[in-house]
């Protein structure tokens, strides 16, 4: 848990505290700072509790540290929903339960009387059950062209199929020229800006956004001797079960392959 807290701390400042004369002040309980709220998932399904990536119920989490960067145990944050109407309840253990309406919820955590985290955003969504091709992928890849790999995640809400945002989609290059042995130096998965998201360029992750869409891009670094590339996109429901239609498979014949 501590490594997770430290990643959040590096990614965004946990709490802005005043620093006087170069010393970190301490608050009640010896607390120097706290992490942002760690969400086990970007979204919670209507009528359900918030769950982790495996589909297990999981609470919100805030970790407190002293001025020596040591974890302070037995700190119980108070979670407050700042958006109205709330749309969720949060119990004393940080367990979130969603009501029966789709919305975006803003949550802050208070530790003691003087420390408050930055706001966290949680989506209340329909339970996703299906995944499909979101748009036609590029059928040909050249040395100067990037293939857009888009999928759409949906669920049923009151008898109507609706897009579902906040669902993690995992992409992977699975085959090149029919072989599962993939050279990461020849083709990589990137974001919209063209930046790889992981050290292993064969893999990438996106979270569905407006319209239930997730998109990653395949950029060929070198296509010498390459005839085809296969990319798969996978996603689970918020209960941890594979969605119908997952994986979505992109089979990309290569133009100018050398």
pLDDT tens per residue, range 141-191: 555 667 789 999 999 999 999 999 999 999 999 988 877 776 656 678 888
The pLDDT score that the predictor gives to residue 10 is: 39
Is there a contact between 206 and 198 (Cβ–Cβ < 8 Å)? no
CA–CA distance, 237 with 145 (Å, rounded to integer): 33
Place of tokens 């145990």: 73
Q: Per-residue DSSP letters for 43-76?
A: EEETTSB-B-TTS-B---B--EE-TTSPEEPS--
The pLDDT score that the predictor gives to residue 13 is: 42
CA–CA distance, 170 with 152 (Å, rounded to integer): 13
Greater confidence (118 vs 30) lies with 118
Regarding pTM above 0.75, the answer is: yes
**Residues forming a β-bridge with 218:** 147, 189
Share of the chain above pLDDT 90, in %: 57
202 has a pLDDT exceeding 80 = yes
Express each pLDDT in 53-70 by its tens digit: 999 999 999 999 999 999
The radius of gyration computed from the CA coordinates of the chain, to the nearest angstrom, equals 22
**What domains can be seen in the chain, in order of their start residue?**
2-125 (2.60.40.10), 128-253 (2.60.40.10)
Cα dihedral: 94, 97, 102, 104 (round 10) = -10
Express each pLDDT in 209-222 by its tens digit: 999 999 999 887 66
CA–CA distance, 87 with 81 (Å, rounded to integer): 9
End-to-end CA distance of the chain: 48
Greater confidence (5 vs 206) lies with 206
Express each pLDDT in 94-121 by its tens digit: 999 999 889 999 999 999 888 999 999 9
Cα dihedral: 92, 96, 102, 103 (round 10) = 60
The pLDDT score that the predictor gives to residue 223 is: 63
């Amino acid at each position: 848990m501590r490594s997770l807290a430290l990643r959040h701390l590096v990614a965004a400042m946990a709490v802005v505290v005043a620093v006087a004369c170069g010393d970190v002040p301490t608050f009640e309980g010896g607390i120097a700072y706290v992490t942002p709220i760690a969400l086990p998932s970007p979204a919670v399904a209507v009528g359900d509790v918030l769950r982790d990536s495996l589909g297990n119920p999981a609470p919100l989490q805030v970790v407190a540290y002293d001025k020596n960067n040591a974890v302070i145990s037995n700190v119980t944050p108070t979670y407050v929903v700042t958006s109205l109407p709330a749309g969720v309840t949060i119990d004393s253990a940080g367990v979130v339960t969603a009501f029966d309406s789709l919305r975006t919820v803003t949550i802050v955590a208070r530790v003691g009387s003087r420390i408050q985290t930055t706001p966290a955003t949680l989506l209340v969504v329909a339970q996703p059950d299906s995944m499909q091709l979101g748009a036609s992928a590029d059928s040909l890849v050249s040395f100067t062209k990037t293939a857009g790999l888009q999928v759409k995640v949906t669920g049923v809400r009151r008898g109507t199929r609706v897009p579902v945002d906040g669902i993690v989609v995992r992409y992977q290059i699975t085959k090149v020229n029919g072989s599962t042995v993939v050279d990461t130096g020849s083709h990589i998965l990137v974001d919209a800006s063209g930046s790889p998201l992981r050290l292993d360029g064969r893999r990438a992750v996106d979270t569905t956004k407006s319209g239930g869409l997730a998109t990653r891009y395949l950029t060929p670094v070198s296509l010498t001797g390459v005839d085809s590339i296969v990319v798969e996109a996978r996603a689970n429901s918020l209960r941890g079960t594979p969605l119908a239609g997952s994986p979505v498979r992109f089979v990309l014949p290569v133009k100018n392959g050398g």
